[in-house]
Structure 1
């Protein structure tokens, strides 16, 4: 029996109460259903992976298209889905509240709001503005009555401002403003991770691992991280294989298909979902 949206939201919140879980990032229905079949407990969207699948750069997806994507993925899986909701598709708190309410209607179990502006010259909202935006998201969720988990993101390391002190100050302020989970994508070292975990405790922390890492999941759990996501890494891996095979084909070679999955394997994976 399919789980209801309320069931999935309750399950998602419970996952954040103890332990450490991996939340991989599909970019379409097929990747979502495959990951569900591997036994993961939750999924998260990837704005970059989805943008690339649409022939766009990350950050170029319009809000309506993103909302349609969220609705599609939520409908494709019985797992809770956390939305990579970029910077909320608005700069002012009122616009954030409007976007968040629309995201809630898609059925997501959680959503993140970044503090990035999209302006390379001035890439981060001032912390007071960022806090007001996060507070507006919190109020919108509370007013909706939906048990949607709110993630506050400090984008320092992603926008070329790798100031750990500022990132920690931002995350602490976002926690105080009502974020349920905190996230500083781009931190990698044990020292950075520990600093973030300690700063916002007891609230849970999301860690991005989108590159080869010396840390195992056991190591990450021991540092106090509650959940791990991989952002666009799976999409980049898929694109890497496609790029290599296509470039070989353009050179008149067919060896790029050596590691391709068989049609039979793919049909076995997706057969149970066929109408």
Structure 2
């Protein structure tokens, strides 16, 4: 295992930390006093588990937590996790993606204007779309299952387990990401797979390829763009050389010359036929001359 695997392994801890932070804010008996939230209201929160000021305070408290970490990877994943919390917990899965994102943007605006947000999370929130957000629960679910699997072996005397429910979930998601050519989703799965395999080999000490998650063939967005243009460039560069300096050029010139002779013969025959036709019919003054010409 490389140092990259060990670094990526900490992402599992990040997802755990997100949940712990949000749960602690939601269950706190002390009122969260966050500037801009006391009078906050939003039409989509009506009938949800929390009132609007509480949703605002929890959301902004979490954004403040992310900002204090000074880690862009932790921030980006955390912003996606907060979207999931708003949709799943705050709105009870009763509102649409558009409604949830509208609420999110309102909270981010208060964060920027009243809590020194400095627009640090705009770049993450603005690139959210329905397709991307539909994948967030699947990644979170994988890490939740992994955390359960990890905790199963911590009790004293617990039997060592080398197989978890993550395997079936992971394989189904990999098929989904590859069929949709979803680079971002595939990349997140790749990171999870490396973390999972690190845990299986280094922590659980399970030996055997059958316990490991298969590699994700990450879609290379750069190659998808470059390869077709490279082929076009090579084709336009090589064909003139082949034409000028190889037997292929001789054959092609002979073929073109043969076709030119055929075309020349056909044109001569057509002109001859036309002249004959005009001579024979010169005195007849037939009005449908053009029709006859086009038909021939």
TM-score range relative to shorter protein: 0.3 to 0.5
The normalised TM-score by structure 2 is 0.31
More strand by share: 1
Structure with the larger helix share: 2
Structure with the bigger RCO (C-alpha within 8 Å, sep 6+) is: 1
Q: Give me the TM-score of the superposition, normalised by structure 1.
A: 0.33
